[in-house]
Chain A
Amino acid sequence: MATYEKTKGNDMKLRKHLLAGLAFAFLASSASAETLRWGSPRDIFSLDPYSYGSTSNLAFLNHVYEGLTRYTPEFKVEPALATSWEMVKDKVWRFHLRKGVKFQNGADFTADDVVASMARVSHPTSPLRGNIPAYVSTTKVDDYTVDIEVNSPNPLFLNDMTNIFMFDKDWLVDNKSELPTDVGAKVEGFATYNTNGTGPFKVESRVPDSKTVLIKNDGWWDTPKHNLDRIEFMPITSAATRVAALLSGEIDLTDGAPVQDLERLKSSPDIKVVERTDLRTVHMVFNRHETFADGRENFFNNIKVRQAIDHAIDRQLIFKRVMRGKSHVAGTMVAPEIPGYSAELDVPTAYDPELSKKLLEEAGAVGKEFTLVCMNDESVNEEDVCSALVSMLSRVGLKPTLDIGPRAVQAPKRAGGKSDAYMIGWANEPTLDAYSILVQVLSTREGAAGVANYGGWSYPALDAMVKKAALEMDHDKRLAIETEALKFAKDEVIMIPLHQQPMAWAMSNNVTDVTIRADNKPRHWLTRIGD
């Protein structure tokens, strides 16, 4: 009886603590109803959008800076700082700029700013130069009109421009930042710590790895859909801590809810979880040079071997066991959200180990050895995916060995063409069109084409289709060509698509409206809380 009394007392005390905690949380949230506390798996690298070609960094800075064009949540290009555009000559885009737009320091946005920004982003030391492969030059027509020359009339240039943010020319000049920050020159840039954009929010303060505070920009040209006065962005790298911070109410939202903790989060009444698959398609890819790096004959050049491997992979098993039923099994090389996708193509290759064995025998590749290069920090559960692949391929009579390590060590092996087989994930960022994977991964390596064609294959027929797509101005016709090219790639088994990986956001019920798309980018200018 006495012990019962005692536990009851403790219980009361605990309850009191909880009540106090709840009361505190309530007070805190009502006092700052329009503050979004956002816990992210990683910090941003820099406040300078041209400092590093990182999708997540650019997505964050898009709250502060804007481009001439932008994506709608449905990934359509819409006007932002430019109100309209047209092709005036064969390879010249004319952009008409929005009037009355002010930078956060009060300066007007004009054509000079576009010229200065384009010069900065296309400078040879700019890490973002590769993001606008078609760009040639910019000329000012009048204060609110610019002409941008490109090397091909491909409308996808407008997609690429969504990620090229506009700086104020005078601000750059005054702070000696007309050129991008050059890591080789060992000089810090002003724009690394300071911002002056046109976007919906402005940076109030930033302490790297602790907190970056954004406040509402009252002078934003667009009508805000959000109701936030303040965003407190806090990186929490440890997944368990991130979950704890959400459960204890210290953050309102995280854009990186760990897959293994989703059930725990869902079971909490105050928290909702949004899951979906993202744009990144994970593939297994082959070395296609004449011989392997160590001089052995390359049996992957025989299409029967590639088909055999395709049939040997039990994608359903990977889906169920490794990805916990949260991925999307892929039959084609792009995600359903990417233009150029075709549902007809997205039929996963049938799992047929018997056929696979037969094909290997015909090709004389039974018992052949090769190494699969994987990374343990690139795609979701890549380590387990690769282990599964190795055992599935061993079962049909190949002798694969797994070479796994951190990205820092593995990426050079992959890029140097030294690996026999490797994994690659491709999200088609920032273009968001199948043209991205077609030109950069599947095309023959030549200039800007095939930069990620690490296997070294060359299909002139495919190259011709890609070049045709680049010149095709009609949207539907272009997509038809792209789909055809993807079908060609699938028939030739150039790469073996496995799945689109899962992503998950978790937030407190206080967050009433948030836009979550397959590109996994935050768009807090559309976020509403507390209503």
Chain B
Amino acid sequence: MIVFLIKRLANAVLVMLAVALLAFLIFRFAGDPVELMANEQMSQADRIELREKLGLNDSFLTQFGRFVGNAAQGDFGISYRNGQDVMKLIAERFPATMELALVATVLSLLIGIPLGVITAIHRGRWYSEGLQFISIIGVSLPSFVVGILLILVFAVTLGLVPAFGRGDVVQLGWWSTGLLTPSGRASLLLPSLALALYQITLVMRLVRAEMMEVLRSDFVKFARARGVPRWRIYFRHALRNCLMPVVTMTAMNFGSLIAFALITETVFQWPGMGMLFIQAVTFLDMPVMAGYLCIVSFIFVTLNTLVDIAYAVIDPRLRDATR
């Protein structure tokens, strides 16, 4: 078990180093930050001096070593764009993205599961076929189009919810939440729906497929024969047997929700990490880009490692296989 743990951790460290190298490489070839920082009147000598000061003239290995060394201590430097501490910038944005992704996940389960059950038990009816058809649109529409459509309908035409921003937030320690104020909750609605749409379709289709499988099984037939009420069979007995893969998929897709949030955040001016990253890219703000990539991949790697370890704890066969 200890050997397994060490192997797994070493793996995680390797992945992180690889991400750091990739991030570093991309930024090195993305362009010259000095040209963007310099204003029109800055002389060439000043530019060279600034480049020297930022350490952009050092050798590749020196720069990379310095980057990894600092990053390991959580120090990504300060932003080229606004002179703020990168870790602090990301920590400020983290709750916004997290809340968005969490609410989107909850929405996808709350909407996706009942829809999946309905389309499974009433398959062939016009409305379940209709839902199936709409779900294809849900998967294929790009999320910025969905976002704009939602804004046009619910914010501009109906005027029910705000078109952009996060509303008023309440500060709980370092965590800022919009869930505790009415305007915060109203603001959360559209972006989380836009973000959840893809996930809703996935959940719905997964539940439907699983449900149709389960409904054919013997215990359902037996329950029917015993005269157990239908809703009880569907929602109590059958659904339970469908949920395992849904939970696994939801957990695994949480990461991609954070990644998709990038576009949703831009459309809705949601002050999250994705927005920060997009702005950093247009400005070639390397410390912020590097910090964002490293922290997001750190979240991924940590989650994956934890899941792997949990699996190994539950299932001894996995442990043996890796030995």
Contact yes or no, A130 B39, CB < 8 A: yes
Contact yes or no, B159 A244, CB < 8 A: no
Selected interface stretch from B29-37, B214-222, B236-244: B29-37
Contact yes or no, B162 A411, CB < 8 A: no
Is B44 interfacial (CB-CB < 8 Å)? Answer: yes
Contact yes or no, A234 B40, CB < 8 A: no
Q: How far is the CB of B155 from chain A (nearest CB, A)?
A: 5
Partner of B164, one of A51, A207, A241: A241
Given contacts A130-B43, A408-B284, whether A209 and B269 have CB atoms under 8 Å apart is yes
Partner of A377, one of B44, B83, B282: B282
Produce 1/0 per residue, A124-141, CB < 8 A to B.
110111110100000000
A211-B165 Cα distance, complex, nearest whole Å: 9
Contact yes or no, A183 B31, CB < 8 A: no
Q: How far is the CB of B105 from chain A (nearest CB, A)?
A: 23
Contact yes or no, A245 B163, CB < 8 A: yes
Is B268 interfacial (CB-CB < 8 Å)? Answer: yes
Given contacts A54-B39, A209-B269, A244-B163, whether A21 and B158 have CB atoms under 8 Å apart is yes
Contact yes or no, A241 B267, CB < 8 A: yes
Is B2 interfacial (CB-CB < 8 Å)? Answer: no
Q: How far is the CB of B93 from chain A (nearest CB, A)?
A: 8
A128-B43 Cα distance, complex, nearest whole Å: 12
Is B148 interfacial (CB-CB < 8 Å)? Answer: yes
Contact yes or no, B159 A17, CB < 8 A: yes
A241-B270 Cα distance, complex, nearest whole Å: 11
Produce 1/0 per residue, A165-202, CB < 8 A to B.
00000000000000001111011110010000000000
Is A452 interfacial (CB-CB < 8 Å)? Answer: yes
A14-B153 Cα distance, complex, nearest whole Å: 12
Chain B residue, CB-CB nearest to A54: B39
Contact yes or no, A408 B30, CB < 8 A: yes
A residues in contact with B165, CB < 8 Å = 210-211, 234
Contact yes or no, A209 B39, CB < 8 A: no
Contact yes or no, A188 B85, CB < 8 A: yes
Contact yes or no, A24 B159, CB < 8 A: yes
Interface residues on A, range: 35 or more
Q: How far is the CB of A422 from chain B (nearest CB, A)?
A: 13
Given contacts A241-B164, A377-B282, A408-B284, whether A52 and B81 have CB atoms under 8 Å apart is yes
A210-B43 Cα distance, complex, nearest whole Å: 35
Contact yes or no, A209 B271, CB < 8 A: yes
Chain B residue, CB-CB nearest to A407: B36
Produce 1/0 per residue, A238-253, CB < 8 A to B.
1011001101111000
A332-B35 Cα distance, complex, nearest whole Å: 27
Given contacts A209-B275, A236-B269, A244-B151, whether A18 and B159 have CB atoms under 8 Å apart is yes
Considering residues A17, A406, A451, which has the most beta carbons from chain B within 10 angstroms of its beta carbon? A451
Produce 1/0 per residue, B37-50, CB < 8 A to A.
11111111010011
Considering residues B39, B55, B158, which has the most beta carbons from chain A within 10 angstroms of its beta carbon? B39
Q: How far is the CB of B264 from chain A (nearest CB, A)?
A: 11
Contact yes or no, A181 B46, CB < 8 A: no
Q: How far is the CB of B90 from chain A (nearest CB, A)?
A: 12
Q: How far is the CB of B54 from chain A (nearest CB, A)?
A: 5
B residues in contact with A21, CB < 8 Å = 158-160
Contact yes or no, B39 A247, CB < 8 A: no
A430-475: which residues lie under 8 A (CB-CB) from chain B? Answer: 440, 445, 447-448, 451-452
Produce 1/0 per residue, B198-211, CB < 8 A to A.
00000000000000
Is A274 interfacial (CB-CB < 8 Å)? Answer: no
Is A27 interfacial (CB-CB < 8 Å)? Answer: no
A192-B81 Cα distance, complex, nearest whole Å: 11
Contact yes or no, A447 B39, CB < 8 A: no
Contact yes or no, B85 A415, CB < 8 A: no
Contact yes or no, A127 B37, CB < 8 A: yes
Given contacts A46-B83, A183-B78, whether A248 and B163 have CB atoms under 8 Å apart is yes
Is B323 interfacial (CB-CB < 8 Å)? Answer: no
Contact yes or no, B39 A409, CB < 8 A: no
Is A105 interfacial (CB-CB < 8 Å)? Answer: no
Produce 1/0 per residue, B81-114, CB < 8 A to A.
1111100110011000000000000000000000
Is B196 interfacial (CB-CB < 8 Å)? Answer: no
Contact yes or no, B266 A237, CB < 8 A: yes
Chain B residue, CB-CB nearest to A243: B156
Is B294 interfacial (CB-CB < 8 Å)? Answer: no
B residues in contact with A18, CB < 8 Å = 158-159
Contact yes or no, A188 B163, CB < 8 A: no
Partner of A411, one of B35, B46, B55, B77: B35
A residues in contact with B155, CB < 8 Å = 244-245, 248, 250
Chain A residue, CB-CB nearest to B96: A210
A12-32: which residues lie under 8 A (CB-CB) from chain B? Answer: 14, 17-18, 20-22, 24-25
Contact yes or no, B156 A131, CB < 8 A: no
Contact yes or no, A51 B83, CB < 8 A: yes
Chain B residue, CB-CB nearest to A411: B35
Is A208 interfacial (CB-CB < 8 Å)? Answer: yes
Contact yes or no, B159 A188, CB < 8 A: no
Is A48 interfacial (CB-CB < 8 Å)? Answer: yes
Q: How far is the CB of B151 from chain A (nearest CB, A)?
A: 5
Given contacts A51-B83, A207-B271, A250-B162, whether A412 and B35 have CB atoms under 8 Å apart is yes
A457-B247 Cα distance, complex, nearest whole Å: 67
Contact yes or no, A53 B39, CB < 8 A: yes
A192-B151 Cα distance, complex, nearest whole Å: 34
A184-B38 Cα distance, complex, nearest whole Å: 14
Given contacts A48-B83, A53-B41, whether A184 and B163 have CB atoms under 8 Å apart is no
B residues in contact with A429, CB < 8 Å = 40
A24-B161 Cα distance, complex, nearest whole Å: 12
Binding site for B on A (CB under 8 A): 14, 17-18, 20-22, 24-25, 43, 45-46, 48, 51-54, 124-125, 127-131, 133, 181-184, 186-189, 192, 207-211, 234-238, 240-241, 244-245, 247-250, 377, 406-409, 411-412, 415, 426, 429, 440, 445, 447-448, 451-452
What are 7 A-B residue pairs whose CB atoms fall within 8 Å in the complex? A20-B159, A51-B82, A130-B39, A211-B165, A237-B279, A244-B148, A440-B40
**A45-B81, A186-B75, A411-B31 known, 5 other contacts, Cβ within 8 Å:** A130-B42, A183-B54, A241-B163, A249-B159, A451-B42
Q: Which 8 A-B pairs give the minimum distances between C-beta atoms?
A: A53-B39, A21-B159, A130-B41, A184-B53, A408-B31, A411-B35, A412-B32, A408-B284
